[in-house]
Homo-oligomer: A and B are copies of this chain.
Amino acid sequence: MVERQRADARRNYERILAVAEEEVAAKGADASLEQIARVAGVGSATVRRHFPTRRALLEAVSQQRIEALCARARELADRKSNNRAGEGRKALLEWLGEVVAYCVTARGLAAALSYDEGHDPLGGNSCAAALIEAGEPLLRSAAREGAVAPRTTVEDLITLAVGLALATEHHPEPTARAEALLALTVAGISPERG
């Protein structure tokens, strides 16, 4: 769908995306689209053509990080070759920690990963979909060890990560706060004692 694009359109797309990355990094998910257009030297209507919704822009801006997290998931899934007990759990939790850290650090990412009520038949957004797919093997390994409840989904984990990022956004030390809360969530506020 990027094929056969006119050179100037392509150029504009790249420029807008580059500016958007800076603006979102500076101002967060609410960065001004108008400002982005201004700095990129295009009309706001042009921004809108390339990115019809704010969310589309945020997803594009976040794409590299999401790909990095997907790659990391695959890496961790492969690495557990030695099959020691508890290795699957460890890998899953390490990945989840990185997802949370990214969501807290990379402004706009949590918003891009938030559930989108768009009428997408699968009920998810394409952006989170890749991450969910990449995390699946990690979750399954951990579940096979009995380390996570059988009905847990990767989407649950992502939603929790997004929630932690959003809730700690205005704290003085968001990363530390989010990590502490993740630890609490992993261990359970009050797990059944068997």
- Kindly supply a per-residue 1/0 record for chain A positions 164-194, scoring 1 wherever the CB is within 8 Å of any chain B CB and 0 otherwise: 1011111110000100110011111111110
Q: How many copies does the complex hold?
A: 2
Is A114 interfacial (CB 8 A cutoff)? Answer: yes
Total interface residues on A, using CB and 8 Å? 42
Is A160 interfacial (CB 8 A cutoff)? Answer: yes
Residue of B nearest to A188 (CB): B188
10 contacts between A and B (CB under 8 A): A114-B169, A115-B170, A116-B170, A147-B193, A149-B184, A159-B167, A159-B177, A163-B163, A163-B168, A186-B191
Is the Cβ of B171 less than 8 Å from the Cβ of A115?
yes
Identify which of B92, B115, B117, B177 contacts A190 (C-beta below 8 A).
Answer: B92
Is A78 interfacial (CB 8 A cutoff)? Answer: no
Q: Which of A164, A171, A190, A193 has the most CB of B within 10 A?
A: A190
Is A36 interfacial (CB 8 A cutoff)? Answer: no
Given the known inter-chain contacts A152-B184, A188-B185, A189-B148, please indicate yes or no for A167 contacting B172, CB distance below 8 A: no
Residue of B nearest to A180 (CB): B156
Report the minimum CB–CB distance from A26 to chain B (whole Å): 17
Interface residues in chain A, defined as those with a beta carbon under 8 Å from any beta carbon in chain B? 89, 92-93, 96, 114-117, 123, 142, 146-149, 152, 156-157, 159-160, 162-164, 166-172, 177, 180-181, 184-193
B contact residues around A171 at 8 Å (CB): 115, 117
Residue of B nearest to A146 (CB): B193
Is the Cβ of A190 less than 8 Å from the Cβ of B160?
no
Is the Cβ of A181 less than 8 Å from the Cβ of B167?
no
Identify which of B92, B159, B168 contacts A168 (C-beta below 8 A).
Answer: B159
Is the Cβ of A181 less than 8 Å from the Cβ of B152?
no
Cα-based distance from A193 to B145 in the complex (angstroms): 11
